[in-house]
Amino acid sequence: MRRLALIATAAALCGALIGYAVLERTGETAPSLAPVAAPAPDPGAAAAPLGNDAVVGKLQARLRRSPSDASSWAQLGSAYVEQARLHVDPTLYPKSEQALRRSLALQPAANTAAQTGMAGLANARHRFAEARSWARRAVAADPYAWAAYGALNDALTQLGDDRGAQDAVQHMLDLHPSTASFTRASYTLELHGRTGEAAKALRYALQDASSPADEAFCQHYLGELAFNTGATAQALAHYRAALALDPTYTASVAGAARAEAALGRTDEAVADYRTAIARVPQPQYVLEFGELLQSLGRRKEARAQYAVLEAEQRLFAANGVVDDLNLGQYQADHGDPKLAVTLLTAEWNRRHSVLVADALSWALHRAGRDTEALPLAREANRLGWRDALLRYHRGVIEQSLGDRTTARTDLAGALSANPVFSPVFAPDARARLAALRGQ
């Protein structure tokens, strides 16, 4: 806990501010750790910053002229990862790896940019141990490489190395207090249940944001934090503020849909989910939309969304993404719980994060193995994270084991944290709690 206090202190002193999205309930990655430098513009070119697709095009053109430019190959590799994130296109990951390895072949020593790029690529593919290795190589070569500390924080957070993740984000804050570092500090604080300080860190990030896109990112995550703490109308206001800053920011279209659904504005929610998925078919949006349709009794349409999600998972796997967590979560709720246990046991053997502990505990419950599930459900709360779905899962497991008193406490805690945390499971939590209270 002392290290978290240092993170909060750093944020206050600076006076300024999570992993891979898919289904890990962190939305999407922070703004690029090391923003890819745009190639020098031609004389007379517009002064406005280039978008990522334009940066990729410029770098490709430069490398056709200078194929031995190791720096440009490193930049291109990282730009492909960002492009894959923005367009949900995992077919770009092999191209990213090819570019980054070309950079490393041309410049094997003192190539921190390529090493950091490899760490970012490994994080995007959910190969977190590999990401940790690359990030550590980068910071060993250059202890002032702030972006590498960000990649290291992302990897260690997902691996369940809480102290290491805190140390990494502290280094990042010390070296480069910015939107990218403060947003990571915010997520660390949120995982420890310190939501007020997490919101403060995001407000520092907003003050430090240097572009409308970064401001939109901060507004979006203020919305996510508000939604996760039950302030649904406030969340919707933040999502709309993000879209006013950057109308192309699809994450906030989906965020607005989630908030609208929770507020009972289902027609608007359905329309916004369709817009978000048409723009960027992020698996998280597809799953959320499917669950909303399921809650509305539109089961055929819900199944169609789940079929899209399954196809996307196959595409990710074909391009090197190890995604047993997200696939296991989906299978536990909408597919084969026994398969979910197999997938999530493999994931738990790779990394002991609270996300995996929660997912595996729920899969075990769904497979009828509650006695094995309960210790993992408790492990999932070891950091003090105030996540409504996590607490709902634990409450259901306790109820299944006959512990009515503790189940009542946890189900009530889930609904207190966020009474509208899920269109499918929040109503179930209310029904279970009423039955436990004898109502």
DSSP 299-320: HHHHHHHHHHHHHHHHHHHHTT
Token pair recorded at residue 20: 């891979």
Q: Cβ(178)–Cβ(217) under 8 Å?
A: no
pLDDT at 273 > cutoff 90: yes
Task: Count Cα neighbours of 356 within 13 Å in the Cβ-side half-sphere.
Answer: 21
The verdict on 75 and 158 lying in the same domain is yes
The verdict on 154 and 108 lying in the same domain is yes
* CATH value at residue 119: 1.25.40.10
Helix residue ranges, H only, 299-424 = 299-318, 324-334, 337-350, 354-366, 370-379, 388-400, 404-417
Residue 370 pLDDT? 98
Domain annotation covers residue 387? no
Q: How confident is the model at residue 6 (pLDDT cuts 50, 70, 90)?
A: very low
pLDDT in tens, 243-272: 999 999 999 999 999 999 999 999 999 999
Distances (CA, A) of 388 to 251, 391, 414: 21, 5, 4
Task: Please state the rounded mean pLDDT for residues 383-388.
Answer: 94
Q: How confident is the model at residue 24 (pLDDT cuts 50, 70, 90)?
A: very low
pLDDT in tens, 292-306: 999 999 999 999 999
pLDDT at 23 > cutoff 90: no
Domain annotation covers residue 121? yes
From 128, 162, 177, the end of a domain falls on 177
pLDDT at 67 > cutoff 70: yes
Give me the domain span that covers residue 146: 18-23+67-177
pLDDT in tens, 324-336: 998 999 999 999 9
pLDDT at 83 > cutoff 70: yes
Looking at this protein, which amino acid is placed at residue 366?
R
Domain annotation covers residue 403? no
Domain annotation covers residue 189? no
The verdict on 228 and 152 lying in the same domain is no
Task: Please state the rounded mean pLDDT for residues 118-135.
Answer: 97
Query: How does 87-103 read in b/e, with b if 16+ C-beta sit within 10 Å?
Result: bbbbebbebbbebbebb
Residue 72 pLDDT? 97
Entry pTM = 0.86
Q: How confident is the model at residue 32 (pLDDT cuts 50, 70, 90)?
A: very low
The verdict on 153 and 218 lying in the same domain is no
pLDDT at 22 > cutoff 50: no
Domain annotation covers residue 391? no
**Angle, CA 392 vertex, CA 169 and CA 380 arms, to 5°:** 35
Domain count, the chain: 2
